[in-house]
Structure 1
Amino acid sequence: MMFLLWTGNSWAQVTVDEKIAPLVEKLIDNNARVRLEAHDALVSIGSGAVPTLVETLNNPDCNIRWRAAWVLGDMGTEAASGVPALTKALQDEDTQVRMYAVLALGAIGIQAKPAVPALMAALQDKELYVRIYAASALRRIGMEAKVAVPSLINALKDDNPRVRKNAALALGAMGTEATSAVKDMIPLLNDTEYYVRYGTAKGLGGIIGAYQDVADKLPSAKLTKVITDFEQVTKIVEEHQQNFTEIDAARIRRPLEALKSEKETRLFDRVVEWLLKHKLLLGVAAYVTLLPTLWFMMLRVKPIWLLKINNALKPYTDFSLPLVSINVPLRYVLFVGWFHYHPKVLDAWVSKYIESAREQFPKKDTVSNRNTYIPIPVVLDGNTVAQLAPDNLRATFSKQRSCLIISGEGGIGKTSLACQVANWGMSDTADKRLCQHLMLPVLLEEDFRAVDGKSSLKEAIRGQLQASIDEPEPICEELLVKLLRKQRILVIVDRFSELNTTTREALQPDSPDFPVNALVITSRLEEKLGRVNKTTIKPLRIEANKLSSFMEAYLMQRGKRDKFTDQEFFDACNRLSLMVSHGNITVLLAKLYAEQLIANVEKQVVYDIPQTIPNLMLGYLNELNRDVAGDKLDDRIIHQDTKAIAWECLQRNFQPGTALRTDAIAALLTINPLDVDRRLDYLENRLHLIQTVGSAKDKIRFCLDPLAEYLAGLYVVEIYANNDGKWRSGFFKKADDLVKANGQDIIKGFLLAVYDCYLSQIIGAKPSDFVPVRLSKLTGVTSAIQSVAP
């Protein structure tokens, strides 16, 4: 065979037999092209050049020694006869010679088994790359290098992450022979270097994958030990899933599931074998009669036990029935699967957690702010009801699917009524419930977070339910769906009209897959919700002639009525009637007024009651601030800050919503650059006026929508004052656009608040001025508007 070789000046033909030694010499030629051509020629020659190259490994020149090892490595398995010489080269004093010798042995692969002891020693070589490639070479040799397992375990503790990674991969190649390394590999799943974690996950996957291949031959004790060890691995991967890909997790999870299935199959086989050997017919008869009888008895005495038994048996699936080729879950084989979601079982589960729900639900900020409930007139499906009671809603909640929509303007009492409906669902008195069984309320107030591969609605409900029942772990999805389908969970979605599009689209009661069969929605709009059958409730404002009755009931329920003489009480009601410019009043405004009456009489303040609704709102802020203990902010600072933040929450679409926390901070900076974080924290955690919301906790909203509307109204009036031109080109231009796009109802509350703020804050303002007249037309309440005292 002839080869062309570049000599440095020209090409020359050489033969294999006569020119191998010269070719080897050309490996250290000064010309790089000559060296490369010589290397390629020797690789092409293959095993015929191995003896000469092996001899060259003893050459005094280290440069030609490592190049000879390099060529042998590129020959791969053809250089198998050179393994002894390459093994000896691992002791070479030159670093490159040792490194290329290790690479060559790795390239030869399984035929390099005789070099395993030397490669084990190379794992402790002072040169980093020798250690790295030694671990890689052992990996290529595979299970034939199983004696290297202890050395590889030591290499897992190497200071260099690449050595640790290659050692973990090599142990994975050892398969079941590397079982002893598992406990030492587990800590590397938390290694700071991502490629070490990858190598460890892959190595562990190789070990458990090898066990999967021989699972049917493993002793039960060994099988149990392997499962226990790798359950620790899965737990770490799940707890730190951000550090691993789905492929990493699947390498371990899938073989582990296969081993668990093998273990379960053995258990079932033993049980079936035992039954077949011990009076089969009698066993079947007892099985068919006694088990269902036992579950029926338990259903009457301890129904919750059926759920616990079912959950314990749930992992055991695909049980093979004897004599027939049918696989069914074990819980159904034992008949308990037919009972575990019986209504009595679900009722028992709810009863177990009802006390916790009664304790936790009122602690939610939204609920605690509305703990005093006074019945007010509502329009129920077109009919006026003076005082809504559970009897009025039983027909709704007696249906298989119930949907209740409470709509109306801000402050009208929608959320208060929804919270009262929740209390009726939890009532310990049967005749005060919405239906015969108890219901656990879940309050959803924020936009849903997206959850990969899962329903955002169900995950939101599950998270709130977990907090309500005070359990460390969320309930399983199967049980959650059954509780929702059987109306044991009452889902309340607050501020539906203000939620984002994604969240609203997740709530489709007309869909057959929608899991919630007991749903309450509060909204500023009359929501259609497709063609689902629904019950609608519209709370009504308190009419002037019924204001004293409401105030009387509220003060009585608060236990404060005896603090006022009859004359003081009626004078206060008259002052409130004069304050209202729209002929009637919302529940929230009446409550705020009553609370200030109570605060004044308890603090013995005389005639310190605001004379306008905007001033009532500011007075409410003052009362909150007055009760703060310790270092407190000045009332004027609180007024300025809350007005600015309220406008940030409303300016986008003139309805109470959220503002970015960064925008709120920017607004506060324009007022006063000092202590911005402290001021924001004061409003949220001392006065409880605002809440931080959103999955990223980057948004702010007001706890009370009407308060936000009036504070924003005061801010707007400060901006535009009595400049009709600025009102026309700025505020009213946007208001007209919003009314055209969405109708007047959704922004009516804010426009009325601006109306009141203008008349109360602008000196000499009259209802006949340009701004009040335009606001009257936009809200459609022109005929009801009266003069307000400045």
Structure 2
Amino acid sequence: MRTQTIRRLLKASLKVAVLFVMIFWLWTGNSWAQITTNTKIEPLIEKLASKNARFTDAADALVNIGEPAVGALIEALKNEDSNLRWRAASVLSDIGVEAAPAVEALTLALQDDDPQVRLYATIALGNIGEAAKPAVPSLIAALQDKEQYVRIYAPSALRKIGVEAKVAVPALIGALKDNNIGVRLNAAYALGAMGSDASSAIPNLIKLLDDEKSYVRHAAVKGLGGIAAGFQDEASKLSSSKLAHVISDFEPVLKTLEENENNKFTLEEIVRIRRPLNAIKAEKETRLFDKGSEWVLQHKLLLGIAAYITLLPLLWLIMLRVTPLWLLKINNALKPYTDFSLPLISINVPLRYVLFVGWFHYHPKVLDAWVAKYIKSVREQFPKKDTVSYRSCYIPIPVVLEGNTVPQLTSENLHPTFNKQRTCILINGEGGIGKTSLACQIANWAMAEEKEKRLCEHLMLPIFLEEEFREVEDKSSLLEAIRGQLQALIDEPEPICEELLIPLLRKRRILVIVDRFSELSADTRDAIQPESPNFPVNALIITSRIEEKLGRVNKTVIKPLRIEANKLSSFMEAYLTLRDKRDKFTDQEFFDACNRLSLMIGERNITVLLAKLYAEQLIANVDMQQENSLPENVPSLMLGYLNEVNRDVTEDNLDDRTVHQDMKAIAWECLQENYQPGNAKLNDAIDALSDMGIDEPEVHLDYLENRLHLIQTIGYAKDEIRFCLDPLAEYLAGLYVVEALGDNNGKWRSDFFKQVDDLVKKGAQDNIKGFLLAVRDSYLSKINNAKESDFVPQKLGKLTEVENSGNNSGNNSEKTIQSACS
């Protein structure tokens, strides 16, 4: 019994002891952690002072510790060893904002005898940011430092401290005259960070716009832009006289940038000044109209009737004739006043309609003035679009216009169509026939400078839509797509309001082109309903592979025709002349090349694209002084085109064979669903390349898109890809199919023609004819000893209505394909 009692007492004592130990550990936990941390820091500080190159490891470790190491680094700044001092300052600069407690010590370090210490102290204060404000006077003094790198980084530190360092403006203005380029450059940047407080620096920054160094000029523009942006932020609080003063300061700056010679300033640099200046001007104009509106409201009983009946309408009519855009500006300024109560009758109406300006601001003359304001920008930006740029060389070809064959379509042929109040044009035909090229040419006529070349009396701004429309809640996806494209063309910071966009569309001041309509999704196609009375677009062009019904609306149908075999030389002559390459060929060389093209295609008429690709092959051969390397059939022409595109890439390029295999696989992904060029899922393309054994398929896709510009990533989610040229996709997919099925007729019947027959039954024979012809040409050129009487080419010939002409024998074609692949 006694033994049990003793055991119980021992157990209880042990529990109490354990409890006290745990309480002691918990109570001293932070102290232990601190000791551990301090134990780590001190050896690192010692290593930091080491002359061994391994001191960088200690510096990295201290940066990782962060704020707890700041105290020890402050002490290191006081050490006699100059190496330790500058290394400590360097570590503090890497720690950044957390090193704020070291501001005082770093400020003292700016007086250090060692220039490296002063340099890294300057950098550290800049990285600390606003918390380094107490060091501003010392940083100002550092602008006079005799070691040039301290002077270079001192303005950078003041810039990072920001507006809190505005007392440094006079010193920074002085630094703009420093002999060192880096000092001048960083001083300009720093002044821009001070915003409107640096307005006194404007004349000195303007002088730097003539600096011989481009990067100094760029820094001057950025500095001026920062000051202008500062005034823009404060515009609503500034007096009208101050706004006028700011405008007078910056208008010469903008004029200097816009009228620069030898393209010294980029559009981006010009916009950096133009945008805030326009916003400041808008604020001043709004201020003026606000005061005018208040005055009118105060005297409405006295002036209302007279101004309402006579003076105001007369004023707007005069303004409509002299400065029509002012009507739009006045209307926009009056928009906020929506509930004006008319005297006597107690009806609330928007003030802009009470003042009659609301009835004038969308007058055709106003819309024409708005178009004229932006036409220069649109003429510059529209040709830069990838799709438009690729089709810059336009050769007129015969078309069928409303059932009549026109040898060369001109703007005059379209006058009857564009003289109507609603214009809807459908350009339809097979891939590569020139639908998009023709649409681009019509767009050029829409904004032509010469009236006789225009589509109608007034100018039009072309909007080119070629991707799926993005769904926007409670808004029209079509209107949002047009607004986005228009904003990019007119170079404005904000999209135009829908209230202005609708009249521009209804009055046909905007020409909307919807490309590849037959290949767009059902949701996007449903957004184009020209038969609806609420459809706002009254000048519409649609390109499609099929003859769209478009709700059976009245439309003008244009069908580009293939180039006839006997007209090839005329086309080639015109194209080479337009490309300024005709004089590189003797007459004999030119006719020999045309003869080879005729032998290649036989009696068939060909698309514009094939003729252009052949012409470009001719140009490439003569430029590179290559002889006897022209393709002998259309598939080899396509592969040769890939080789030429790939040859322009000089660094980190993929070899031609890899490009061929990649493009064939991607082409099949784009066509295999319905045998028509379409979009492929990005993940499917990646999987297809991975299945071919490619380790980095994303890198290959990036190369094909951004280096060779052969494919495009599309969709707002950027999850689909498509070919830039549909016929190229058809022929590469055709080669893919031929390589997969070979001369096995059984596989052709089960794996290919079964789906073809299904598509034909659904009435899609015309839509897939281009691909079937590509497969036929690929079979005859790829399969050894292939003949047109073989099962595959014979059936494809019937489906494509191509007669056996004997022009594509396979005896020599295989060699051509192999040479194109090598």
Assess same fold via TM > 0.5.
yes
Q: Does 1:672 align with 2:679?
A: no
The answer for the alignment partner of 1:630 in structure 2 is: 651
CA offset digits 1:430-454 (Å, max 9, x no partner): 0001101001001111111111111
Structure 1 residues 266, 468: closer, same or farther in 2, change over 3 A?
A: closer
Displacement of 1:298 after TM fit?
1.1
Alpha-carbon distance in structure 2 between the residues aligned to 1:784 and 1:380: 31
Structure 1 residues without counterparts, runs of 5 or longer: 1-223, 226-263
Alignment counterpart, residue 674 of structure 2, candidates 628, 646, 653:
653
The answer for the alignment partner of 2:534 in structure 1 is: 513
Displacement of 1:418 after TM fit?
0.4
- Identity among equivalent positions (%) equals 73
Displacement of 1:272 after TM fit?
3.9
Displacement of 1:296 after TM fit?
1.1
Please tell me whether the aligned partners of residues 580 and 788 of structure 1 are also in contact (alpha carbons under 8 angstroms).
Answer: no
Alignment counterpart, residue 274 of structure 1, candidates 285, 299, 322:
299
Question: Quick one: which amino acid aligns to residue 727 of structure 1?
Answer: W
The answer for the alignment partner of 2:484 in structure 1 is: 463
What secondary structure sits across from 2:541 in the alignment? strand
Q: Does 1:540 align with 2:561?
A: yes
Alpha-carbon distance in structure 2 between the residues aligned to 1:647 and 1:395: 43
Structure 1 residues 395, 593: closer, same or farther in 2, change over 3 A?
A: same
The answer for the alignment partner of 1:531 in structure 2 is: 552
The answer for the alignment partner of 1:576 in structure 2 is: 597
Structure 1 residues 592, 305: closer, same or farther in 2, change over 3 A?
A: same
Displacement of 1:780 after TM fit?
2.7
Taking the TM superposition and a 5 Å limit, the aligned residue runs for 1:407-422 are: 407-422=428-443
The answer for the alignment partner of 1:322 in structure 2 is: 343
The answer for the alignment partner of 2:574 in structure 1 is: 553
What secondary structure sits across from 1:781 in the alignment? coil
Displacement of 1:764 after TM fit?
0.7
Structure 1 residues 743, 378: closer, same or farther in 2, change over 3 A?
A: same
The answer for the alignment partner of 2:731 in structure 1 is: 710
Taking the TM superposition and a 5 Å limit, the aligned residue runs for 1:244-393 are: 271-276=296-301, 280=302, 284-393=305-414
Displacement of 1:544 after TM fit?
0.8
CA offset digits 1:21-42 (Å, max 9, x no partner): xxxxxxxxxxxxxxxxxxxxxx
Please tell me whether the aligned partners of residues 310 and 331 of structure 1 are also in contact (alpha carbons under 8 angstroms).
Answer: yes
Alpha-carbon distance in structure 1 between the residues aligned to 2:806 and 2:329: 63
Please tell me whether the aligned partners of residues 412 and 588 of structure 1 are also in contact (alpha carbons under 8 angstroms).
Answer: yes
The answer for the alignment partner of 1:399 in structure 2 is: 420
Please tell me whether the aligned partners of residues 582 and 781 of structure 1 are also in contact (alpha carbons under 8 angstroms).
Answer: no
Which structure would you say has the larger Rg? Answer: 1
Please tell me whether the aligned partners of residues 788 and 804 of structure 2 are also in contact (alpha carbons under 8 angstroms).
Answer: no
CA offset digits 1:667-701 (Å, max 9, x no partner): 11122332322211110000000000011000000
The answer for the alignment partner of 1:54 in structure 2 is: none
Please tell me whether the aligned partners of residues 710 and 757 of structure 1 are also in contact (alpha carbons under 8 angstroms).
Answer: yes
Alpha-carbon distance in structure 2 between the residues aligned to 1:527 and 1:485: 22
Q: Does 1:610 align with 2:631?
A: yes
Alignment counterpart, residue 745 of structure 2, candidates 713, 724, 734:
724
Q: Does 1:734 align with 2:755?
A: yes
CA offset digits 1:38-68 (Å, max 9, x no partner): xxxxxxxxxxxxxxxxxxxxxxxxxxxxxxx
Displacement of 1:314 after TM fit?
1.3
Displacement of 1:269 after TM fit?
8.7
Displacement of 1:742 after TM fit?
3.3
Q: Does 1:759 align with 2:784?
A: no
The answer for the alignment partner of 2:510 in structure 1 is: 489
CA offset digits 1:78-116 (Å, max 9, x no partner): xxxxxxxxxxxxxxxxxxxxxxxxxxxxxxxxxxxxxxx
Please tell me whether the aligned partners of residues 777 and 808 of structure 2 are also in contact (alpha carbons under 8 angstroms).
Answer: no
Question: Quick one: which amino acid aligns to residue 432 of structure 1?
Answer: K
Structure 1 residues 784, 534: closer, same or farther in 2, change over 3 A?
A: farther
What is the total number of aligned residue pairs between the two structures?
525
Structure 1 residues 269, 738: closer, same or farther in 2, change over 3 A?
A: same
Please tell me whether the aligned partners of residues 583 and 784 of structure 1 are also in contact (alpha carbons under 8 angstroms).
Answer: no
What secondary structure sits across from 2:552 in the alignment? coil
Alpha-carbon distance in structure 2 between the residues aligned to 1:304 and 1:737: 59
Displacement of 1:468 after TM fit?
1.4
CA offset digits 1:356-389 (Å, max 9, x no partner): 1111111111111111000000000100000000
Please tell me whether the aligned partners of residues 406 and 414 of structure 1 are also in contact (alpha carbons under 8 angstroms).
Answer: yes
Alpha-carbon distance in structure 2 between the residues aligned to 1:311 and 1:303: 13
Q: Does 1:777 align with 2:798?
A: yes
Structure 1 residues 358, 265: closer, same or farther in 2, change over 3 A?
A: closer
Structure 1 residues 483, 727: closer, same or farther in 2, change over 3 A?
A: same
Question: Quick one: which amino acid aligns to residue 293 of structure 1?
Answer: L
CA offset digits 1:277-336 (Å, max 9, x no partner): xxx2x6532442221111111111111111111111112112101122222110011111
Alignment counterpart, residue 523 of structure 2, candidates 477, 481, 502:
502
The answer for the alignment partner of 2:191 in structure 1 is: none
Displacement of 1:581 after TM fit?
4.8
Structure 1 residues 312, 749: closer, same or farther in 2, change over 3 A?
A: same
Question: Quick one: which amino acid aligns to residue 767 of structure 1?
Answer: E
Alpha-carbon distance in structure 2 between the residues aligned to 1:741 and 1:564: 49
Question: Quick one: which amino acid aligns to residue 328 of structure 1?
Answer: V
Report the TM-score, using the length of structure 2 for normalisation. Answer: 0.62
Structure 1 residues 265, 542: closer, same or farther in 2, change over 3 A?
A: closer
What secondary structure sits across from 2:511 in the alignment? strand
What secondary structure sits across from 1:547 in the alignment? helix
Please tell me whether the aligned partners of residues 670 and 677 of structure 2 are also in contact (alpha carbons under 8 angstroms).
Answer: yes
Displacement of 1:478 after TM fit?
1.1
Displacement of 1:582 after TM fit?
5.7
Please tell me whether the aligned partners of residues 308 and 354 of structure 2 are also in contact (alpha carbons under 8 angstroms).
Answer: no
CA offset digits 1:530-567 (Å, max 9, x no partner): 22110001101000110000000000000000000000
Please tell me whether the aligned partners of residues 319 and 327 of structure 1 are also in contact (alpha carbons under 8 angstroms).
Answer: yes
Question: Quick one: which amino acid aligns to residue 536 of structure 1?
Answer: V
CA offset digits 1:649-673 (Å, max 9, x no partner): 0001101111111110111112233
Please tell me whether the aligned partners of residues 599 and 807 of structure 2 are also in contact (alpha carbons under 8 angstroms).
Answer: no
What secondary structure sits across from 2:375 in the alignment? helix
Please tell me whether the aligned partners of residues 781 and 808 of structure 2 are also in contact (alpha carbons under 8 angstroms).
Answer: no
Alpha-carbon distance in structure 1 between the residues aligned to 2:467 and 2:412: 30
Displacement of 1:469 after TM fit?
1.3
Q: Does 1:588 align with 2:609?
A: yes
Please tell me whether the aligned partners of residues 272 and 322 of structure 1 are also in contact (alpha carbons under 8 angstroms).
Answer: no
Question: Quick one: which amino acid aligns to residue 274 of structure 1?
Answer: H
Please tell me whether the aligned partners of residues 582 and 785 of structure 1 are also in contact (alpha carbons under 8 angstroms).
Answer: no
Alpha-carbon distance in structure 2 between the residues aligned to 1:575 and 1:342: 58
Please tell me whether the aligned partners of residues 578 and 788 of structure 1 are also in contact (alpha carbons under 8 angstroms).
Answer: no
Structure 1 residues 344, 403: closer, same or farther in 2, change over 3 A?
A: same
Please tell me whether the aligned partners of residues 639 and 660 of structure 2 are also in contact (alpha carbons under 8 angstroms).
Answer: yes
What secondary structure sits across from 2:558 in the alignment? strand
CA RMSD of aligned residues (A): 1.9
Alpha-carbon distance in structure 1 between the residues aligned to 2:686 and 2:339: 59
Please tell me whether the aligned partners of residues 497 and 523 of structure 1 are also in contact (alpha carbons under 8 angstroms).
Answer: yes
